[in-house]
Homo-oligomer: A and B are copies of this chain.
Amino acid sequence: MGKGEDTRSMILDAALAQASEGGFESLTIGTLAARTGLSKSGLFAHFGSREELQIAAIDAAAARFADTVFAPALLAERGLPRLRAIFAHWLRWTDDSGLAYGCPLHAAAIEFDDRPGPVRDHLVGHYERLQRNLERAFALAVDTGELPADADPGQLAFEALGLVFAYYHAARLLRRADAAERARAAFDRLLAAAAPAA
């Protein structure tokens, strides 16, 4: 990486940390200048506007999510082992990514759901890719015969996403110590309920 790319990457790390902590509403050229120690004009040289900065932060978070959750799961065998790997990585992904205050994409999903525009479009793009990748992982478990031929990967992906949201809620708002255990039990139940009759 050249120096410019290095700096851009450092700025995006700081932007994600800011969005994790205070939401995208708090992510401005000003808060980012304070956080990085760079000048506002220096930041404007990298991102021409607050909107460009927000889009770059969404895309950086989505790329980091894919690298942390889906990419390493490809090492697990397709079918149930890979599904379990995806879910396990997902529960840990913000911790593994140094995002101590929770998933910035999840925060953005609430903040931007009623704000049409390019930021929302990039966010929807991330969640649609996530849905497709999850569906594909469930479909592979149908191919291996671990899930029955009439299992509905779209429905299972919908439900798995809900379990992660329930986990975020229990862990971050309610500070429940059993949040991850509840989420893992729920995912096991989801797979067991979908399994072919013995």
Contact = CB atoms under 8 A, between A and B. Distances in A.
Interface residues of A, number: 42
A109 B174 CA distance: 9
B189 A193 contact: yes
Interface in A144-198: 154-155, 158-159, 161-167, 169-170, 172-174, 182-183, 185-186, 189, 192-193
A193 B124 CA distance: 31
A22 B198 CA distance: 50
A5 interface: no
A113 interface: yes
Interface stretch (A39-47, A69-77, A83-91, A100-108): A100-108
Contacts of A166: 158-159, 161-162, 165
A21 interface: yes
Nearest to A166: B162
A23 interface: yes
